[in-house]
Structure 1
């Protein structure tokens, strides 16, 4: 049996930078709790917590949490089973 070779996580820098350079409000997400698939712009966002909490408009379960400090950001997407992000057609394709 041959071992699969791998690259370290630094390889993700370019592809992730490309991904998060787009408007995520145009992305579509699926709620892990109820299965609703809808634009992220339709989430109900609460800003009076430490950070932002975005809830599913159908079942009110938390889909996204974003907390910022002066030197970093924490993004928690445990409440979403996927996030489909529209990509510009003129950008590079990662395979």
Structure 2
């Protein structure tokens, strides 16, 4: 699977947060871009899901599942 937008994470994010997360705002800690989760560039072909900034390609969100638990890391969010 190639690059998709943040809507591809909508189901999983709803399961984790019990609400529609696609309209939640963010700010990139690297370039300062602001937007909503639905606008992020998402890569789902690896061992987890990685969402990157559309402007500078910084990693904003990483989602992985291990032994039935989800781990969420947000290294690029300001």
**TM-score greater than 0.5 by the shorter chain:** yes
Show structure 1 runs of 4+ deviating over 3 A.
none
Q: TM-score, normalised by structure 2?
A: 0.74
1:69 is displaced (CA, Å) by 2.7
1:68 aligns with 65
Answering whether residue 35 of structure 2 is matched by residue 32 of structure 1, we say no
Secondary structure of 1:41's partner? Answer: helix
1:53 pairs, out of 43, 50, 53, with: 50
Q: What is the alpha-carbon distance in structure 2 between the residues aligned to residue 25 and residue 57 of structure 1?
A: 15
2: distance between equivalents of 1:57 and 1:32? 13
TM-score by length of 1: 0.62
Aligned pair count?
Answer: 62
Unpaired stretches in structure 1, ≥5 consecutive residues = 1-19, 82-95
Unaligned runs of 5+ in 2: 1-16
Larger radius of gyration: 1
